[in-house]
Chain A
């Protein structure tokens, strides 16, 4: 009898049955797609980013499609962490996949407060800290663009939680590895690489931006080469696991991220294109390992060979 591949991965103490995770903001509050798929077949589910207070989001237009990409400025619209725990989390009880809460604040104190609120919620297995949002105490500069601030946020969240802390890094920096090392030193157990790239789209007939917010975050296949480069770079700089994301549409895209050093991957915009994308990536990776006689998915991580 042939051995079956072990698809499980360990992300800072959180063991996932497979390395496929849904990206924050692309899988709702976790159960919206139940009519189309079984969320339990995923490694983990990262829910929509949660803030301390509800946030209505930006005026429309919030999204625009660009070649092979999606530019969005949703404005982090969400119902707030307390409403999530009270109204949305109970519906996720029958999903066996771990639930990871993506959190963000406008001040360091807000991040810490959300972590404290979630600490007593058993159903939430880990935190993913979004440090790409504007820091109102520092003139709106993103927390994630400064190593010191990024480390401070990480440390303050760590102080208020016993759950694994994943920090989601922004690509809109000069050297992402410096930020990655800073959050690692501050106690982060994993990093997600990468959040969206800042971008614009213009309507030439009106000379106005196509997004009401002028600037948005670019995602989708258009950013995959950049995301791969950043994952490769971060994986070389830190010892903690790297979760790769950016334009993953199928299992071959996922393999590219694993090969350059990711221990797990997230499917984001791919879910908008095909709601079953993440589930299909998980199946595709399993079939690939079976076919290639790879008995442990971790063998693929960081297996990049030198260029000829």
Chain B
């Protein structure tokens, strides 16, 4: 774990309200694992917004360039989008537990809903060498205007299936329908599911995976004050009588689907 003031390499809009930011940190980049996150704090905001914000590590490039992908949803992310190359930014990380890797007889199936693509892109980068032709990825976006990273994922050689809510690109409907259809087909390799996206999507995928007895990892989002296990603000209800709450920052953000109490979420 490191706490650093680092400098922005680039910060550019890549789709409607969606931004990609890169900053330099050799230490953070060399320890970062897919599924882990960073606490990113604006410098000189005069205490409002007060707290740092958690962001998944989206990618590591050239050994020392860390990327985050974010949507401008509030004051903090709007201010973040105004930062320019060379501006300083405060970063703590890498934090949390990442995605466990598949075993030999497993085929990685990645399911991303909207901004859920942020940590899964990093996962594809680390899986690609080991599972070149095995990775299957399902992407769901609300509309073609918010559809991102198709070219990058295609360039990696990943087998993609795309759905949009309005049908403006790919299949019209839910990404979970595409996944369900796929899972209902015969396969000689056991699927291992990695999912990140809206809670309703994760819940549906998890319940499906549990019913088929498939291993499924979900990456959860939560409000966090610290990201360091101090505040206990990021509680998530789990199926454990002795310890009913786990913490997204320390126990997660990646959880085994069957651990989560989906009724409570």
Contacts and interface: CB of A to CB of B under 8 A. Distances in A.
Contact of B229 (A28, A65, A69, A269): A28
Interface in B234-248: 234-237, 243-245
Given A62-B235, A221-B47, A273-B52, A56 B243 contact: yes
A272 interface: yes
Interface stretch (B129-137, B180-188, B219-227, B251-259): B219-227
A60 B222 CA distance: 9
B47 A249 contact: yes
B92 interface: yes
Interface in A265-300: 269, 271-276
Contacts of A249: 47
B227 to A, nearest CB: 9
Nearest to B265: A60
B51 A70 contact: yes
Given A56-B245, A275-B92, A275-B226, A62 B232 contact: yes
Contact of A276 (B3, B47, B237): B3
Interface residues of A, number: 35
Nearest to B53: A65
A60 B2 CA distance: 28
A225 interface: no
A3 interface: no
A209 interface: no
Contacts of B50: 65, 68-70, 220-221, 269, 273
A184 B264 CA distance: 45
A51 to B, nearest CB: 14
Number of chain B interface residues as a range: 20 to 34
Contacts of B41: 273-274
A57 B233 CA distance: 10
B256 to A, nearest CB: 19
Interface stretch (A29-37, A99-107, A115-123): A29-37
B128 interface: no
B49 A63 contact: no
B233 A62 contact: yes
Classify the secondary structure of B's interface with A: loop
A74 B232 CA distance: 7
Q: Which of A28, A61, A63 has the most CB of B within 10 A?
A: A63
A221 B45 CA distance: 13
B226 A57 contact: no
Contacts of A269: 50, 225
Q: Which of B51, B222, B236 has the most CB of A within 10 A?
A: B51
A13 interface: no
A143 interface: no
A243 B118 CA distance: 44
A57 B223 contact: no
Contacts of A74: 231-233
B225 A28 contact: no
Given A70-B51, A77-B245, A249-B47, A63 B225 contact: yes
A59 B223 contact: no
B1 interface: yes
Contacts of A251: none
Given A56-B244, A57-B245, A60-B235, A32 B223 contact: no
Contacts of B103: none
B3 A28 contact: no
A26 B231 contact: yes
A70 B230 CA distance: 14
B190 interface: no
A221 B2 CA distance: 25
B92 A77 contact: no
A68 B244 CA distance: 31
Contacts of A32: 228-230
Contacts of B244: 56
B62 interface: no
A67 interface: yes
Contacts of A273: 41, 50-52
- Sorted from nearest, which 8 A-B pairs have the closest CB atoms? A63-B233, A272-B226, A35-B1, A272-B225, A56-B244, A68-B47, A221-B47, A28-B230
11 contacts: A32-B228, A36-B3, A36-B92, A56-B244, A59-B235, A63-B233, A65-B225, A68-B47, A220-B47, A273-B52, A275-B226
Given A56-B244, A62-B232, 6 more contacts: A26-B230, A33-B228, A56-B245, A60-B222, A274-B90, A275-B228
